[in-house]
Amino acid sequence: MTVLAPTSPATDDALGTSAARTRSAVLERRIRENPGRFRVLTGDRPTGRLHLGHYFGTLHNRVRLQDLGVELFVIIADYQVLTDRDVADDLTRHVEELVLDHLAIGVDPERSTVFTHSAVPALNQLLLPFLSLVSVAELNRNPTVKDEIAHSRQSAVSGLMFTYPVHQAADILFCKANLVPVGQDQLPHLEITRTVARRFNDRYGAVFPEPDALLSDAPLLLGTDGSKMSKSRGNAIALAADADETARLIKGAKTDSERHVSYDPTGRPEVASLLLLAALCQGRTPEEVAADIGSAGAAALKRTVTESVNEYLAPIRSRRAEYARDRAYLRRVLREGNERARSVADGTLAEVRTAMNSHY
Ligand code: TRP
């Protein structure tokens, strides 16, 4: 996810985070009771290899939902990435990296659909009627887009940047997904999606579900410099990094000068994030990991983190390397995912045409 986290503390409520959290707990119960009732759509912009922040924040959850029996669609948002123009050059490679990362973590193309925007014309066509359902003022209010514009290195705001949340509504609604696992920065987009679905149904008849956000309770991992883990900040550990690169990155991670290692996310955020990372990999609590290390200091902490990460990622990395050698297979996964997404999108567009009385 390239979207920046909301910066002001007041935005937490403006985004409706606490309501979404309560709702997510209810949804988790329903998913367990009846996974077959849910269709999930989620995805990423193809900006490069995914990292541990993505993994523990969202990727892990995708596989969990798939394995519970929920139908999973993963969009590789290759049109949306045009809002960050400078990464668009290496698009084919970035798209393949995303497919590889998903296969490596256990997304199963027999059960789940991985596809790209650009290969699904009927999805993109939904953007036009959808744009008619939202006002410019509503688009202008979107805090995530505002934030991206503020941090954008581009000289002018493109029409795509301004409208991409409506395109994202098409991503979600083309397959009538009713569940969208996202981070909180994406909540405003989901609100637009729900508005579009509701207004379409009111105006033309019931076609779309109003999808729910599923907020993960995964804690935020910091990068090796103590700020949010992000590829563009050079502080991220990629899933695909090898054991030596991982060791080097963790060795260079920021800590503090106190020798006794304790878990204190507010007072010692960098140490806490390293403990959290080791804990997530070991399936234990950060307090337990801290107690193990005690007064052995930052070097011992880093050794533990490096070992835990490398051990945890070893099977993922070896699967990734295997798939990377079979480019033909990779292309086939994408081709078949795109075909499936196209057939779903064609069906929905036909319904939309009927509802809108434009079936000629
Ligand atoms: N906007 C998301 C991001 O930047 C990517 C995305 C595109 C997405 N379409 C989506 C996420 C639909 C969830 C649902 O990370």
171 CB within 6 A, ligand 1: yes
Q: Are residues 105 and 132 in the same domain?
A: yes
pLDDT digits (tens, 9 = 90+) for 40-66: 999 999 988 999 999 998 999 999 999
Q: Which atom of ligand 1 is nearest to the CA of 77?
A: 7
Q: Are residues 215 and 278 in the same domain?
A: no
Distance (angstroms) between ligand 1 centre and the Cα of 169 equals: 10
Distance (angstroms) between ligand 1 centre and the Cα of 300 equals: 38
pLDDT score of 185: 86
Q: Which CATH number characterizes residue 289's domain? A: 1.10.240.10
- Residue 147: count of CB within 10 angstroms of its CB: 19
User: If pLDDT is split at 50, 70 and 90, which confidence band does 20 have?
Assistant: confident
Q: Are residues 157 and 286 in the same domain?
A: no
- Taking 80 as the threshold, does the pLDDT of residue 160 lie above it? yes
- Residue 59: count of CB within 10 angstroms of its CB: 25
pLDDT score of 307: 98
Structure tokens at 218: 């995964």
Q: Decide if 229 is inside a domain.
A: no
Q: Are residues 200 and 92 in the same domain?
A: yes
pLDDT digits (tens, 9 = 90+) for 339-352: 999 999 999 999 99
Average pLDDT over residues 302-312: 98
Q: Which CATH number characterizes residue 174's domain? A: 3.40.50.620
47 CB within 6 A, ligand 1: no
Mean pLDDT of the chain: 92
Q: Are residues 74 and 135 in the same domain?
A: yes
Distance (angstroms) between ligand 1 centre and the Cα of 296 equals: 42
Nearest CA to ligand 1 atom 8: 43
pLDDT digits (tens, 9 = 90+) for 22-39: 888 899 999 999 999 999
User: If pLDDT is split at 50, 70 and 90, which confidence band does 87 have?
Assistant: low
Q: Are residues 171 and 48 in the same domain?
A: yes
pLDDT score of 155: 78
- Taking 50 as the threshold, does the pLDDT of residue 2 lie above it? no
d(CA 316, CA 313): 5
Provide the domain limits for residue 318: 243-324
Distance (angstroms) between ligand 1 centre and the Cα of 295 equals: 43
pTM of the full structure: 0.92
Distance (angstroms) between ligand 1 centre and the Cα of 233 equals: 20
Strand order in the sheet with 179-182: 113-116, 71-76, 39-44, 179-182, 212-215
pLDDT score of 358: 94
46 CB within 6 A, ligand 1: no
44 CB within 6 A, ligand 1: yes
User: If pLDDT is split at 50, 70 and 90, which confidence band does 10 have?
Assistant: very low
Q: Which long-range contacts (CB under 8 A, 24 or more apart) does 154-159 make?
A: 154/85, 158/82, 158/83
Q: Decide if 46 is inside a domain.
A: yes
User: If pLDDT is split at 50, 70 and 90, which confidence band does 86 have?
Assistant: low
Q: Are residues 298 and 155 in the same domain?
A: no
Of 305, 297, 14, which is closest to residue 147 (Cα–Cα)? 14
User: If pLDDT is split at 50, 70 and 90, which confidence band does 262 have?
Assistant: very high
Nearest CA to ligand 1 atom 2: 44
Could you tell me what percent of the chain has a pLDDT over 70?
95
8 Å CB contact between 309 and 277 = yes
50 CB within 6 A, ligand 1: no
Please give the residue that has the higher pLDDT: either 336 or 5: 336
Distance (angstroms) between ligand 1 centre and the Cα of 257 equals: 39
Q: Are residues 105 and 17 in the same domain?
A: yes
Would you list the DSSP string of 125-151?
HHHHHHHTTS-HHHHHH-HHHHHHHHH
256, containing H or E segment: none
pLDDT score of 14: 57
Q: Are residues 304 and 339 in the same domain?
A: no
Distance (angstroms) between ligand 1 centre and the Cα of 319 equals: 25
Q: Are residues 88 and 58 in the same domain?
A: yes
* Total tally of structural domains belonging to the chain: 2
pLDDT digits (tens, 9 = 90+) for 203-251: 999 999 999 999 877 778 899 999 988 887 889 999 999 999 999 999 9
User: If pLDDT is split at 50, 70 and 90, which confidence band does 122 have?
Assistant: very high
120 CB within 6 A, ligand 1: no
Give the 3-state secondary structure of residue 35: helix
Q: Are residues 32 and 119 in the same domain?
A: yes
180 CB within 6 A, ligand 1: yes
Q: Are residues 349 and 315 in the same domain?
A: no
Of 336, 321, 37, 61, which is closest to residue 215 (Cα–Cα)? 61
Average pLDDT over residues 70-80: 97
Distance (angstroms) between ligand 1 centre and the Cα of 72 equals: 14
123 CB within 6 A, ligand 1: no
Nearest CA to ligand 1 atom 15: 1
80 CB within 6 A, ligand 1: yes
